[in-house]
Structure 1
């Protein structure tokens, strides 16, 4: 009786589920979620009612993977995992990142580990979870540790086993799972030894430039040059298929079929074919649309005259009656688009548009998958007649939490929209022509062009499917490049493996971070800042600390610094003079810096890059906006870098800094910029014109100061 009362008044205790109980209780299902809910008695449980992210993979629990003797007890614990909330008293012991409820993907990771434990217990003859004693926990922790998992992964796995104990306590009929010993003794002794290999850095490899160049060229070709032809061909192919499906068998249609097909059969002429699952068949829809015959009438004639054997001997494509306007290198890319080919080209077009968006916006794959038609409206013209920037307003998902600190599967509209450059806008417009208004741009139902009218998938094309489509796109591109006589535009294999959606965001960072102010732009576009106007916040996100955004960019920044040193070395060797308080240090730095011309940088180079950038005082950073080089020494910097930073805040560069270096080229650039300002002054009214003249005069003074103090490299060494 006491226990029953305790359960009644404890809001965290869940009732014992009945066979007909829903797997996901109604309070956890978003009103817009239409995925069917399964029942407790079912052998497969769906977690789809918890998943509102349109690009996420739907998750199911297959109870056949759990040993039968332990299945009933494990079902109660997993049901508690799905519907329960961990107590605040427990969460306070686990740090700020601990959540009362996890996302469906986290639940997947947990129950998979629990099933693995259950199979191990079953092999040892243990048929009750309560018999998993402290000794069993110790042995199994050692088993998992010795399987070669990393220290970080091992700590995560042991946390999942702690949750098995925690969620069991949320059941009105607990199995009696014992508390794992690492909760009372500390976890360190149960983990693999620290070897320095575990870290929280982004290990995703950027794409090789030799891969990215031709891949982006072909993706843009599809969007800019081929899209109209492909969409017109797809419309015509669907029209023919609809006509074929609506035909009615008549004597006239039978006569028309014979008059069309038999002369081809008897004369030895090629026969219209279509590829179906890798095999050649008579193009029945094409023939039906042109003759009015039904499929049954065509099939009888095919059988009567042995047409299928002739098709294999004399195949011919079926041109669609549409004009081809797209070009490659100034010549038409096709004479005709053929019936059956249009579906493949539509898939490649969708893939190409997705590639353009994911690379040229820096979005995460799930953010691209969430884009809908209408997400990037044309901007209203300004009062001066100019056109503003296109902005993409859509959802993001990472670190989106509700009021209780739990993950929100549906995400939320991003506070700061993404900026869309012209190629991205064109890609979005192409996808908007492929899906209905308001639909997901990568809707799985509308992009499954090979099976129109078949099973309709909910949500966006899954990330794994998009990755496969990218590989298929590359195969198509390489075949087409060879056919067009453009072998130099084929896409080579990437040295780091398959080209997946996640690698494009990482690659774009390389280009942005190398520009002055690039870290700010990166933080804004990538959504790493809540307050984009706060430079202190932006510096924190782009800092050199291992937790900062810049932690994934050491290699690229090191290469940029080495490029700066190489250019400086070449200029001074050619006779240019040097000025500035850090001139002598810059000469030393340039002499010590390595060259990376034409080199492919392996993953193992990351540590070397970090060490290279940590050499305070002898790393050179180019800043074209100030027409100077920064020989960054932390204590001299007037840009107020964060403690421990190994790079300047280039957007906060100040005159008079002890790290400044200039060459004769910089002096020429200063004067050229001053002349450019003078040109605009003649078309500008006061008081702005006075400020512009003062700025031009200041630039000339800086150039004059260089000329007066500059020395040759021989004089400095």
Structure 2
């Protein structure tokens, strides 16, 4: 199928596809939006597994500008900027935009449209160069946008101008912005000194304990959590397999189980939320082989309903807790309903270990696949190391210089220290559709259009904050407050700051800049065989961890020392 491009500036029919379904990623054609939809998801256009599903919402635009910008956005998605215009406009003007940049550009247009509406300007062709100059100045001076963000807005309006000259009707054509001829510098806040990365590294007082706890989860607690996860999955599968019409005597095993609890004076498994006590249908179904609907029927008999309210208990799994914290089990027996949450924390810990101990970008980590870190080949006596083969996206361009959404395999694989290998192996045990962070495994309630993709970057960022909150509560409950993770003075830890933090520490060591260039792929040089050991950070016993954590952070550059 070919999408017809209309030179007469007529908008497509409301039920027409926004873009040709043949352009969609395989198995995504059913998710191509229609022109008249209230929101357009462009996720079907990209092969980047961690791409956020940022839907273009037409309610962002004032009503008077809604249809003009809907049509302008349609041209942006379907028409390239001609080569001659790309050459004239410079590096900032690609002929086609990535999905993330498309959505960002339309969002920037929405902010501009709202500004115009507030000023009483109701048509794009009525905007003057002076209006654009005012808008450009207020981005930085009034709204206080960062330099790169303000530049993004200016580039978006430049693109609206270029597209207007080529594809839009006269009423929707924007005059040339003054920064096209004058340059953007006068409209942007000052650049950071020497162009240095302005992302703040994570404070050592935060990063040290965070890494300690992440390593605890990955190296010590993982076996307990994975065993509980397998038991949880087994019980759910039993419950799911019992759906259908009741068979005669289907509730007898549950009644026998309840009578035994009653005879021994033991509590009945229940869900307790505030003052409400309810029946854990899936757990009891899996435990006793009773259909879920029949479970609820039996538990509503007056005898068992009263017993449940008077003697509510937890839904404990019989999987053992083997790992220790300070000589005691690190956790009490795991509750069936707590397993999904503790599993999320294990996956988050794996991400933290991967992010900090490799220096990968977030998108690269989330795109890792099962088998990305094969066991090294060769005789045991030979110096062997694990390597991670990953895709990179930031520099992935096609022959025309446009973004390649599938990424490209990194020329120099990442060196994987033993703790990173362990994190990869933990994730591989969880299964998934090729991806270590597959959405089907780690967030199965996501919309179907995200099927086959990974967790989104924003989701992982939120989970890191949840991990920190859980750790601090756990440390408080165990009387180990000194091991809590302090808040970072610059705010949320996020996902991208691990790479920046590792770079900050390595660059301040002898030969650190060289080692940094090697590991980050800026130089084609091999890493040494010597591995540092972050177990220095990972002392056991009753002592507080923070001091040793800081000391260990200063030694992590040993991972990346050059061969002599």
Structure-1-length-normalised TM-score: 0.66
The residue number in structure 1 matching 2:346 is: 349
**1:318 and 2:312 correspond:** no
**Per-residue CA shift, 1:483-509, capped at 9, x if unaligned?**
444332222222222121111111112
2: CA distance, partners of 1:14 / 1:402: 31
Structure 2 SS opposite 1:169: helix
* Residue matched to 2:416: 420
**8 A Cα contact 2:373 2:386, kept in partner:** yes
Tell me how far 1:30 sits from its aligned partner: 5.0
Partner of residue 85 from structure 1, selected from 80, 87, 91:
80
Greater CA radius of gyration, 1 or 2?
1
- 1:258 counterpart = 2:252: no
Matches within 5 A, 1:687-702: none
Partner of 2:299: 302
Partner of 1:371: 368
Q: Distance in 1 between matches of 2:64 and 2:355?
A: 48
What secondary structure, in the 3-state scheme, does the structure 1 residue paired with 2:395 have?
A: coil
- Residue 499 of structure 2 corresponds to 505
Mapped contact 1:54–1:459 kept (Cα < 8 A): yes
**Distance in 1, Cα, partners of 2:381 & 2:193:** 54
SS of corresponding position for 1:439: coil
Q: CA deviation at 1:373?
A: 0.5
Bigger RCO of structures 1 and 2 (CA < 8 A, at least 6 apart): 2
Given that residues 50 and 453 in structure 2 are in contact (C-alpha distance below 8 angstroms), is that contact kept between their aligned partners in structure 1? yes
The CA distance in 1 between the partners of 2:146 and 2:449, in whole Å, is 43
Distance change (3 Å), C-alpha of 1:478 and 1:80: same
Quote the offset at 1:143 in angstroms: 4.7
- What whole-Å deviation, never above 9, does each CA across 1:284-312 have from its counterpart, x for those lacking one? 23323333333233323333327567646
TM-score scaled by length of structure 2: 0.82
Contact kept? 1:168, 1:175, Cα under 8 Å: no
Shift of the 385–168 alpha-carbon distance from structure 1 to 2, 3 Å rule, reads same
Aligned to 1:159: 155
Give me the whole-angstrom Cα distance separating, in 2, the residues matched to 1:652 and 1:240. 52
Q: Matches of 2:12 and 2:268 in 1, distance apart?
A: 63
Identify which of 461, 478, 482 aligns with 2:476.
482
Q: Matched residues in 2 for 1:238 and 1:471: separation?
A: 26
Tell me which of 101, 104, 117 is aligned to 1:106. 101
Deviations 1:143-167 (A, max 9, x none): 5455233583444423321211111
* Residue number in structure 1 paired with 2:536: none
Alpha-carbon distance, 1:335 to partner: 5.5
2:41 to 46, 51, 76: 46
Asked if residue 339 in structure 1 is aligned to residue 333 in structure 2, the reply is no
Q: Deviation of residue 481 (structure 1)? A: 2.5
1:73 and 2:68 are equivalent in the alignment: yes
CA shift in 2, pair 1:189/1:400, >3 Å: closer
**Structure 1 residue 227: deviation in Å?**
1.6
- State which of 441, 448, 453 in structure 1 corresponds to 2:443: 448
Q: Is the 8 A contact 2:68 2:172 kept in 1?
A: no
Confirm or deny that 1:217 pairs with 2:212: yes
| Structure 1 contact 59–104 (Cα < 8 Å) conserved | no
CA RMSD of aligned residues (A): 3.7
Contact 1:44-1:60 at 8 Å conserved across structures: yes
Where do 5+ consecutive residues of structure 2 fail to align?
Answer: 527-546, 551-556
**Does the aligned pair in 2 maintain the 1:379–1:387 contact within 8 Å?**
no
- Deviations along 1:636-675, one digit per CA (max 9) or x if unpaired, are xxxxxxxxxxxxxx9899xxxxxxxxxxxxxxxxxxxxxx
1:474–1:307 distance in 2 versus 1, CA, 3 Å: farther
From the superposition, tell whether residues 426 and 85 of structure 1 become closer, same or farther in structure 2 (CA, over 3 Å).
Answer: same
Please give the residue correspondences for 1:258-657 in structure 2 after superposition, counting only pairs within 5 Å: 258-262=255-259, 264=261, 269-274=266-271, 280-305=277-302, 311=308, 314-334=311-331, 336-382=333-379, 385-436=381-432, 439-448=434-443, 457-529=451-523, 531-532=524-525
Q: Partner of 2:167 in structure 1?
A: 171
